[in-house]
Chains A and B, each alone.
Chain A
Amino acid sequence: NAGVMQNPRHLVRRRGQEARLRCSPMKGHSHVYWYRQLPEEGLKFMVYLQKENIIDESGMPKERFSAEFPKEGPSILRIQQVVRGDSAAYFCASSPPSRSEGEQYFGPGTRLTVT
């Protein structure tokens, strides 16, 4: 059973470009979460999605950031007009539909560098 997959693992963008980060959840998981880890900090929640629905985006910056989890295909975190402060590790996690499972399973992360 493949784990959570994220690609690309490393992404370099110049200021003003767009960054697209992809996440494929574990088989059977319908819940996807995106977290951001800035240098020297813990993981910060950004958004929680189920198929075709954004459930909680309270941690996502209001501008330039968007996320989707279409019926088919991976979840996408999109950052428009990137700035240096967006440089971070972005982690995706997935969980099964049953909340009693508790834990979230994390992917290896995408390290975004904005030059």
Chain B
Amino acid sequence: DQQVKQNSPSLSVQEGRISILNCDYTNSMFDYFLWYKKYPAEGPTFLISISSIKDKNEDGRFTVFLNKSAKHLSLHIVPSQPGDSAVYFCAASKWTGNQFYFGTGTSLTVIP
């Protein structure tokens, strides 16, 4: 039962353009959402998070948007850089819970 879904396995973007990665979830009890970035042969690295009381959180080139009514969140990277090429995982949790539920990941390639 995949409660967090990333329907695009891969995405290619030109350097300098915007990258938009999408994530959908099914469990309305989720109230905390995160994005992780993963390079091959490494563990995921935390990127940015958002709680359900907000609809936007920004950190430098990275912005996460949350649409609770649609159970959808997205990660915007502007401008995209070749070093951003990695697999991006969306994750969700219940504030009172212990585990993160991860999506299957989107592989982003930024073309120089």
Contacts and interface: CB of A to CB of B under 8 A. Distances in A.
B interface majority secondary structure: loop
Interface in A17-56: 33, 35, 40-45, 48, 55-56
B46 A103 contact: yes
Interface string B70-91: 0000000000000000000101
Interface string B1-26: 01010100000000000000000000
A102 B44 contact: no
Nearest to B36: A106
Contact of B98 (A6, A56, A106): A56
A93 B98 CA distance: 12
A55 B98 contact: yes
A115 interface: no
Interface string A52-85: 0001101100000000000000000000000000
Nearest to B45: A106
Contact of A42 (B41, B45, B98, B105): B105
A4 interface: yes
B52 to A, nearest CB: 12
Nearest to A56: B98
Nearest to B90: A42
A108 B6 CA distance: 23
Nearest to A50: B98
Contacts of A55: 98
Contacts of B103: 42
Contacts of A99: 95
B102 A43 contact: yes
A108 B43 contact: yes
Contacts of B101: 45
Interface string B25-46: 0000000101010000111111
Interface of A: 4, 6, 33, 35, 40-45, 48, 55-56, 58-59, 91, 93, 99, 102-109
6 contacts: A33-B100, A41-B104, A43-B89, A48-B99, A59-B99, A103-B49
